[in-house]
Amino acid sequence: MKAIILGGTGGIGRAIARRLAQRGDTLFLLGRDETELARSAADLNARQPTPSVMGHAQCDLEHPEGFAAALDTADAALGGCDTVIVTAAMFATQEALEADVELTRRLTTVNYANTIVFLEHARKRLLARGGGRLVVFSSVAGDRGRKPVAIYGSSKAGISTYLEALDHKFHGRGLSVLCVKPGFVKTGMTASLKPPPFAGEPDRVAADVVRALDRRQPVLYTPGVWALVMLVIRWLPRFVMRKIDF
């Protein structure tokens, strides 16, 4: 596999990159911070005798004008990629977002509008060579409008819907789309929050993602118990959702 990873320097993205590198896939890293990219590339290359990272380049979800060039650089370095993985996104608590409208604008732009622009660029490149794989991190927060994740969740709901439609539209043309819906995972992103029951470890989640990717599965809840939790949440009547704080 030849994969471009946007957001592979930290959290679940780091764990996925390590698993792919370990089994011999070749990678290209995209991310915001040049130093972080270089350090992560060094890490991935040091972990097995043959280097797995073909290069890295800056690409910031806040700056869509750089997407096409970054993807072209990555594609060239890999000699034509077949997989694009996006784990990058912004996170902020509902409290912080409600207190700061500018933060709300940034988060919804990055997580929804700009992510879709990035994926459109990626999808076109993959389809032009007969298909490939798109793996994108949405969230269980997008499954139902919920009080503690009203804004963040809505940005993820948009991504989930987009990915679902991509799968419907292009599955026949060889594009596999995987929408990953992690529940709470203990990473730097969630470090300030108190872990709820069934909080996942990044490496466990990464293993699930790689398995789902290999099976060309369209949707993945991870840790698995969240599929059940969200099934219940989706069916709760409105008067209950108004009462509870989940």
Choosing from 14, 123, 125, 146, the residue that interacts with other proteins (CB under 8 A) is: 14
Question: Does residue 39 touch other proteins according to CB under 8 A?
Answer: yes
Which tokens belong to 39? Answer: 């350090």
The strand ranges marked E within the chain are: 2-6, 26-31, 53-58, 83-86, 132-137, 175-182, 219-222
18 vs 156 by CB, closer to other proteins: 18
The structure tokens listed for 197 are: 């029951």
- Residue 195 as a binder of other proteins (CB under 8 A): the answer is no
Rounded least distance, CB 243 to other proteins, Å: 17
AA letter at 219? V
* Binding residue for other proteins, selected from 7, 8, 11, 200, defined by CB under 8 A: 11
Compare residues 43 and 164 and give the one whose CB is closer to other proteins: 43
* Stretch binding other proteins (CB under 8 A), from 50-58, 90-98, 158-166, 188-196: 188-196
If 0-12 CB within 10 Å is exposed, 13-18 middle and 19+ buried, where does residue 87 land?
A: buried
Using the rule CB under 8 A, is 49 a contact of other proteins?
A: yes
Instruction: Measure the CA–CA gap between 232 and 242, rounded to whole angstroms.
Output: 15
40 counts as binding other proteins under rule CB under 8 A: yes
Does position 9 interact with other proteins (CB under 8 A)? The reply is yes
CB of 219 closer than 8 Å to CB of 179: yes
Query: How far is it, in rounded angstroms, from Cα 91 to Cα 9?
Result: 16
Out of 25, 43, 82, 164, the only residue in the binding site for other proteins (CB under 8 A) is 43
Alpha-carbon gap, residue 193 to 149, rounded angstroms: 13
What's the CA gap between 141 and 163, in Å, rounded? 15
Selected range binding other proteins among 72-80, 112-120, 126-134, 191-199, rule: CB under 8 A: 191-199
For residue 73, what are its two tokens? 């650089």
Total residues in contact with other proteins, by rule CB under 8 A? 19
189: DSSP letter: G
Among 8, 10, 31, 182, binds other proteins (CB under 8 A): 10
Give me the least distance between CB of 42 and other proteins, in Å please.
Answer: 5
* Secondary structure (3-state) at 215: coil
Query: Binding to other proteins by residue 156, rule CB under 8 A?
Result: no
Which C-beta is closer to other proteins: that of 11 or that of 223?
Answer: 11
Binding site for other proteins (CB under 8 A): 9-11, 14, 36, 39-40, 42-43, 46-49, 186-188, 191-192, 194
